[in-house]
Structure 1
Amino acid sequence: MDAEARLTDEKPLTEPITSFDVACRQVTSYLKQAIPMGIWLVSRYDGENQIYLTVNDSFYGTRPGLSMPWSQTLCRHMLEHRTSRVTPDLESVPDQEPVSGRKQYQVNAYAGVPIQRDDGHLFGSLCGLNPSPMGEDLRGQEPLLRLLGGLLGCVAELDLNRTDLQRRLQTTQTASETDELTGLANRRGWQRILNVEEERYRRLGEPGAIMYLDIDDLKIINDSLGHEAGDEHLRRAAKTMREAARGTDVVARLGGDEFCLLMVGLTQQQVIDASARIQSALAGAGVSASIGQAVFSSATTFTDVCALADQRMYAQKSERKASPA
């Protein structure tokens, strides 16, 4: 039975496509019925890893949230060797052999297409894997996969643009969520934004990080120069952080000398670079601060990511005290 007939025979898809994750669920569900393979999945490329967002699996035991280094994936190989995007028998393609884990995980047939942003950048991939070789008619499904991959790219672009607009709107906080001294989000506002962002991350897999900062020597300034000087020091720190951050980053003051940032769309190396840039900007403004950061992880909650960033911040503070510049 061909794909069109299968779609006609299946129950209608009644869930409205209101977001990228819904579209992914419907596409992988349809492909699992129309082109039966061991697994159909949609993944996100975050610059370093392939993260599985949506998984329809009847063989491999894969689940959403798992990831693997991009360099070891068949999807990377597919992009670099355009002739093998749909391969019924991987044993017949010699240049597939270097792909790590192919035999270990029993992958002998592959069908996949890239999912791209409007600007041509890679978002991720739509792919199917099968433990045994498949018939040559699998090659004839490539136009359908290209069509579905292109449609997923359009939905992803719309969802990401909507998400970006929502983040920008979040910079206008209500009075109950704004720190009076600095004008930044307060602890209550930070927690609300964090909850919203975690839901987005589970849906879209967009990489990013949480950064914790602790202003050094605030007590000394308060005791020696007075609390007005201490407040001015905090305002200067807040202003510097806002200017050093991007427009979509969230900067918040948790209280006292504790600040935090939410930064989305950065790889791990970019997060390290951003941390160094912010610390340098603060030093240039006469503000000494200790910083710790942790990237988003599908294996943990954002509460755990915050705790790790906080732990790393205190580790840096201890190091700075042990070896003052």
Structure 2
Amino acid sequence: MRSRSGVTPPVTTSPVTAAGDDRPVEPVTSFDDACQQVTAYLKQAVPMGIWFVSRYDGENQVYLTVADSVYGAEPGISMPWSQTLCRHMLDHPTSRITPDLDADPHADPGGEPVAMRESYQVSAYAGVPIQHHDGHLFGSLCGLDPSPQGEQLRSHEPLLRLLGGLLGCVAELDLHRTDLQRRLLSTQMESETDELTGLTNRRGWDRLLVLEEERYRRLAEPGAVLYVDIDDLKVVNDSAGHSAGDEHLRHAATVMRRTARRTDVVARLGGDEFCLLMVGLTTPQVADVALRMQAALAAAGIHASVGQAAFTCAPTFAEVCAQADQDMYAQKTQRKQARGATGR
């Protein structure tokens, strides 16, 4: 149901109680609210060493919400998807609820997940996929325990499938709401533009990073930042004057805006430094965008150095930007050395 404004209202639930708890459950207003309530409920109703909700970002499994009394896991940790039990179990539906991994030959993942299982001392597994309505995998709802469980664990599969399906619906609604918020923010940021290029200015960029970091902590939507430094602005200023330098920057801004996706944010931090924020891309895709951006600028006669860094829960987004900045300056140094070696 939509409001008259066309914006999907927050998902709410009736006050219900968790197992063994007569306190009412708070209304669900976001995906992370739903994850916290589901993992807390399962920790009591289906006791396991850990219950968690994860996001599959195309490369890694990122823990979003964790209810853990055994493993010491925390939200934000990640591991390569190929090394996770969830990857194996989601590929083999008959093994999604396995009370004793050692006693079930069909549950043997083989390969890299074995090392992960031994490292975490996992003997029992219960997990279901969290999917969008089109079947696209968002992540998983999963429980692990270091000790084998009884066969009664299998009886909880319908409950887990129900909860996983509900989390998929809430995740999709939250992502849709996030997309609407980004579009609204883009409109609001029209007043936070760089006068020379018409791009987002530093104040708008800093405000955007704060909001995107909060969204990433909730949904772990993959993405990255690019830092772009125009190599030859000083040469243009010295040889043709500052008016020509300004036109050079405007031209660079036009090329970057044309090369970026409609949903990307392109900003000018000042001088010859630009940056882009891109959501929904994996690390290989970001590397491809960086190469295409550099090639597009070069084709327009603009030499530039480009650095990149992916979103991650470990550092703050300010540190992610610093990583991209360092990557850009490393490339800039290499380019200067290469030009010096060739006498250009």
Instruction: Give the TM-score band, short-chain normalised.
Output: over 0.9
Structure 1 CA distance for aligned equivalents of residues 184 and 266 of structure 2: 14
Structure 1 CA distance for aligned equivalents of residues 199 and 31 of structure 2: 31
TM-score by length of 1: 0.95
Structure 1 CA distance for aligned equivalents of residues 302 and 34 of structure 2: 47
SS of the counterpart of 2:79?
strand
Match of 2:242 among 204, 208, 227: 227
- Corresponding position of 2:303: 288
TM-fit CA distance, 1:210: 1.0
- Corresponding position of 1:63: 74
1:185-204, aligned counterparts within 5 Å? 185-204=200-219
Structure 1 CA distance for aligned equivalents of residues 227 and 62 of structure 2: 25
Structure 2 CA distance for aligned equivalents of residues 127 and 104 of structure 1: 17
Kept after mapping to 2: 8 A contact 1:6/1:34 = no
Cα distance per residue 1:267-310 (max 9 Å; x no partner): 11111001001111111222111000011111111111111110
Cα distance per residue 1:132-161 (max 9 Å; x no partner): 111111111101100000000000001111
Cα distance per residue 1:146-184 (max 9 Å; x no partner): 000000000000111111122222222446511011111
Moved over 3 A (4+): 5-9, 173-176
Cα distance per residue 1:35-56 (max 9 Å; x no partner): 0100000001111110100000
Q: What is the percentage of aligned positions where both structures have the same residue? A: 70
Change over 3 Å in CA distance of 1:35–1:6 after alignment to 2: farther
Structure 1 residue 10 corresponds to structure 2 residue 25: no
Structure 1 CA distance for aligned equivalents of residues 41 and 130 of structure 2: 17
- Corresponding position of 1:34: 45
Structure 2 CA distance for aligned equivalents of residues 178 and 287 of structure 1: 22
How many residues matched? 321
Match of 1:134 among 137, 149, 171: 149
Kept after mapping to 2: 8 A contact 1:6/1:33 = no
1:52-91, aligned counterparts within 5 Å? 52-91=63-102
Kept after mapping to 1: 8 A contact 2:63/2:75 = yes
Which of 129-138 and 186-195 deviates more?
A: 129-138
Counterpart amino acid of residue 85 in structure 2: L
- Corresponding position of 1:165: 180
Change over 3 Å in CA distance of 1:174–1:135 after alignment to 2: closer
Counterpart amino acid of residue 290 in structure 1: S
TM-fit CA distance, 1:104: 3.0
Aligned-residue RMSD, C-alpha: 1.6
Structure 1 residue 306 corresponds to structure 2 residue 321: yes
TM-score by length of 2: 0.90
Kept after mapping to 2: 8 A contact 1:292/1:310 = yes
- Corresponding position of 1:45: 56
Cα distance per residue 1:199-229 (max 9 Å; x no partner): 0011111111111000111111112112221
- Corresponding position of 2:164: 149
- Corresponding position of 2:4: none
Change over 3 Å in CA distance of 1:13–1:74 after alignment to 2: farther
Kept after mapping to 2: 8 A contact 1:173/1:185 = no
Structure 1 CA distance for aligned equivalents of residues 291 and 326 of structure 2: 17
Structure 1 CA distance for aligned equivalents of residues 108 and 73 of structure 2: 21
Which of 88-97 and 128-137 deviates more?
A: 88-97
TM-fit CA distance, 1:7: 3.7
Structure 2 CA distance for aligned equivalents of residues 173 and 231 of structure 1: 26
Kept after mapping to 1: 8 A contact 2:17/2:23 = no
Structure 2 CA distance for aligned equivalents of residues 218 and 254 of structure 1: 15
SS of the counterpart of 2:149?
coil
Kept after mapping to 1: 8 A contact 2:130/2:140 = yes
